[in-house]
Structure 1
Amino acid sequence: MPAEAATGSASAGSGDPDPQLEGAGAVAGLRVWRVENRRGDGAGAAAKFGVAAWPTSQYGDFYRGDAYLVLKSTQLPHGGGLAHDVHFWLGSQCTKDEATVAAYKAVELDTLLSGAPVQHRETEGKESPQFQSYFRSLRYMNGGIDSGFSHVTPDEYEARLYQVRKTKHTTRAFQCPMEASSLHHGDAFVLDAGREVYAWFGDECSPFERARAANLQAEIVDGRMGKARKGDADDDAFWEALGGSATDVRAAVHDKVEADEIDATKCDLYRLSDATGELAFTHVEAGGQVLDEKMLDTDDVFIIDAQVATVVWIGAGSSDEEKANAMRTAMTFLERHGRPLHTPVNVIKQGQSSDLFRSIFKK
């Protein structure tokens, strides 16, 4: 998993607003952009990374070799304006440059919206429940922009096999090798062959997975605007596409792991200090009690360690530098405390909230 800086680098941007972000957050809804290398023509042209709007028909589709920026704007009740959540999503195979630019663009979008958004760091397969809720399904596809992806017609389509995984919040579909031996009786699979889309169900897959796979099959077919249809997994064409037969199917494999829920009794609070010139995290004792918002000091920055997720809370009196380096601070904390670098991270300014924050500081 790439480790990214929080504020980008010289190649990430020149300080001028990115025209691709124009109008972002003006109305309620969902916006998605992909990080792209805008390398100029000619030998030796320097890379200039930016973002490009992702087609709405592909919302929920993520390439493992890419990074994405996602903005969710929600209308508050009683004419209260819009609340914004900015997520940057990192594929397991994206480059360090792409990860850096994604984080930089999240900060840029935050600035564009006058600091109103809550920032979230998301990683492939470990997305927060809030992020998952934005999409009917999540599909992880191999490759990325560097692999030369471009829009193709159903006749030209590269066939893909997806393994459908159970999740509480949405469907996760992971691309797997186009081989009959990829199938096993513990899961449901969807074969997208362009004009034919098949759903195959293992003997021991759950009713939930069966339903989710059927829904994903229908979503793909509907998205082809009449140029694709549901295929029958009993047809010879299904097995020909996979280069095998039913005898190649493996016994059930039960290796599904759900994301852990937040346990408020196991959350720890740390106060950030750099008074000595070196970043230090001082544990704040809670006296054996669950954390209380009253423990947060407006003049400081705090880290809330929820084991399976991390929150950076920025007090109103903290410095501009502390605000700008919030995501980098979170990454430093994860590394020093032995937490996986794919751990979801929220950056919250005083007065803001998020689903994760509310699950820790329950009223």
Structure 2
Amino acid sequence: MAPHNGLVHLKEYDIKDSNIELIGSDLDHKVKYASAATEPAWNDGRVGVTPGLFVWRIEDFSVVPVPPSAHGQFYSGDSYIILSSQALSPKTDPTKLTHAIHFLLGAHTTQDEAGTAAYKTVELDAFLRGAAVQHRELQARPSPSFLALFPRLTFLRGGVASGFRHVVETSPPTTTPEDEVTTLLRVFKHPSSSSAAAPAPNDGGVIVCEVEPTWRSLDEGDVFILERGAKIWVWQGGRCSPMERAKAAQVVHEMRLAKRGDVEVVAQGEAGGRAVVRMLGGGGAESESGVLRAERPVVGAQGVGRETEGRRLFRLSDESGRLEFGLVRDVGEGISMRDLDGDDVFVLDDAGKTIWVWEGQGASKAEKAMWLKVAQAYVRKVQGEDESGEAYLTPIAKVREGCESAAFLRAIEVA
């Protein structure tokens, strides 16, 4: 049986690995063979021509469009490519576009999918003549600019490689109670939705994330939706916000449109709330203590920041005849656009909030080809020095000379 058929999951990709190291490998050759001379996904007559949001999922080395109705809904077992194209001057010149490409790696994606997403992102940027800002996104800590693309982000378990699908039912299930599937969704506000640097489409942006259906996943600060068979419970934590309650109600309304069933809203301290805890395996002294805390599965990029360490600037150059990576400006030294040289590639560590790669127009092919590998090698070095062990989650983004994003200009020119 082929590895992508049936309930077989390939080896999961280690997010701490460098996915650009797959370039030039057997995977690289497979992807090139699969894509042949052209990529149909980029040649639909709209990509690079019309403004809008385009989303593709990686399926068996292919780039498969995700319909607009499913934009913002992702599976943790998959990898995705998202293109945001916007008119630079909508009123004066609506045909001139700016582009941002995000390749999203799900928490349980496979090595094949992660490598294909990275490779195809480079290919899409080439299709757009190198003018796009490229972002590597991780499900656990998406960048503020990625969060800003969707009024609601939903992360569900499963994916293509596992053969698992979430099936929308239009009639009551026929399973017996002991066979009923239990699904638990956590609803909470965007961790970075209030960021002035990258506002979400609306300040009520939320994340809906499927979590392990156990009482240990509950947190009194959020709202949870428990679905078992034809019944839905909305569990409101004692410290959840009115906005989270309202957004959870919208999610439940959409669920009921797709699947008939009863809904019961319960509060944490009420009898119904305690009954939900017991349904999820709780009921002992620990779960009945009144304090329920669980780490959020998706946290804001601002939480990565090593602000106390400051910013650093590095140069990648082959001027000496071999590729060298060296420090240009250390912590405490001023950094500005004047420090950049168009003949090389530079890496800016924005105090851990983002690792920015600036590519000069005159940089060599070797320098350009190594940008992500070098950036992730640097992140791994910091990872070994980071007491929290979370440096690998730092967002990575690349800009090209003359096509710098506003976020990059803010990062390099900050006082």
TM-score > 0.5 by shorter chain: yes
Please tell me the residue identity of whatever aligns with 1:162: L
Matched ranges for 1:190-205 at <5 A: 190-192=225-227, 197-205=232-240
Matched ranges for 1:135-284 at <5 A: 135-150=150-165, 152-154=167-169, 155=171, 159-166=182-189, 167-169=191-193, 170-192=205-227, 197-205=232-240, 207=241, 210-219=242-251, 221-222=253-254, 225=257, 227-228=259-260, 231-234=263-266, 239=276, 242=279, 248=287, 251-253=291-293, 255=295, 258-260=300-302, 266-274=310-318, 279-284=323-328
Q: CA deviation at 1:19?
A: 1.1
Equivalent residue number for residue 50 of structure 2: 27
Gaps of 5+ in 1: 38-48
**Alpha carbons 1:309, 1:343 under 8 Å: kept:** yes
Please tell me the residue identity of whatever aligns with 1:260: Q
Equivalent residue number for residue 303 of structure 1: 347
Equivalent residue number for residue 9 of structure 1: 28
CA distances 1:151-177 after superposition (whole Å, capped 9, x unpaired)? 623246955212234423242333222
Q: Kindly tell me: are residues 241 and 337 of structure 1, through their superposed partners in 2, closer, same or farther at Cα, counting changes over 3 Å? A: closer
Q: CA deviation at 1:36?
A: 0.7
4+ residue segments displaced more than 6 Å: none
- Of 284-293 and 329-338, the range deviating more from structure 2: 284-293
Q: CA deviation at 1:32?
A: 0.8
**Alpha carbons 2:100, 2:132 under 8 Å: kept:** yes
**Alpha carbons 1:189, 1:213 under 8 Å: kept:** no
Matched ranges for 1:313-324 at <5 A: 313-324=358-369
2:334 paired with 1:334 = no
Q: Kindly tell me: are residues 151 and 350 of structure 1, through their superposed partners in 2, closer, same or farther at Cα, counting changes over 3 Å? A: same
Equivalent residue number for residue 343 of structure 1: 394
Please tell me the residue identity of whatever aligns with 2:86: T
Q: CA deviation at 1:314?
A: 0.5
Q: State the identity as a percent.
A: 31
Q: CA deviation at 1:219?
A: 3.8
CA distances 1:284-312 after superposition (whole Å, capped 9, x unpaired)? 13694432111100111100011231011
DSSP-derived class of the 2:20 partner: coil
Equivalent residue number for residue 64 of structure 1: 76
> For 1:243 and 1:127, how far apart are their aligned partners in 2?
29
> For 2:308 and 2:49, how far apart are their aligned partners in 1?
35
Gaps of 5+ in 2: 1-14, 174-179, 194-204, 267-271
**Alpha carbons 2:79, 2:104 under 8 Å: kept:** yes
Please tell me the residue identity of whatever aligns with 1:299: D
> For 1:119 and 1:153, how far apart are their aligned partners in 2?
34
DSSP-derived class of the 1:12 partner: helix
Equivalent residue number for residue 96 of structure 1: 111
Q: Kindly tell me: are residues 326 and 199 of structure 1, through their superposed partners in 2, closer, same or farther at Cα, counting changes over 3 Å? A: same
**Alpha carbons 1:304, 1:312 under 8 Å: kept:** yes
DSSP-derived class of the 2:367 partner: helix
Q: CA deviation at 1:63?
A: 1.5
CA distances 1:71-98 after superposition (whole Å, capped 9, x unpaired)? 0011111316111101100112111111
Q: CA deviation at 1:315?
A: 0.4
DSSP-derived class of the 2:63 partner: strand
> For 1:140 and 1:151, how far apart are their aligned partners in 2?
12
Equivalent residue number for residue 36 of structure 1: 59
Please tell me the residue identity of whatever aligns with 1:30: L
Equivalent residue number for residue 79 of structure 1: 93
> For 2:119 and 2:106, how far apart are their aligned partners in 1?
16
**Alpha carbons 2:225, 2:234 under 8 Å: kept:** yes
CA distances 1:36-69 after superposition (whole Å, capped 9, x unpaired)? 11xxxxxxxxxxx111112322222222211110
Q: CA deviation at 1:239?
A: 3.9
Q: Kindly tell me: are residues 201 and 335 of structure 1, through their superposed partners in 2, closer, same or farther at Cα, counting changes over 3 Å? A: same
> For 2:104 and 2:401, how far apart are their aligned partners in 1?
24
- Of 73-82 and 102-111, the range deviating more from structure 2: 73-82
Q: CA deviation at 1:131?
A: 0.2
Q: CA deviation at 1:275?
A: 5.3
- Of 188-197 and 315-324, the range deviating more from structure 2: 188-197
Q: CA deviation at 1:360?
A: 0.7
- Of 178-187 and 51-60, the range deviating more from structure 2: 178-187
> For 1:149 and 1:142, how far apart are their aligned partners in 2?
9
> For 1:66 and 1:226, how far apart are their aligned partners in 2?
24
User: How many matched pairs?
Assistant: 348
Q: Kindly tell me: are residues 107 and 287 of structure 1, through their superposed partners in 2, closer, same or farther at Cα, counting changes over 3 Å? A: closer
DSSP-derived class of the 1:76 partner: strand
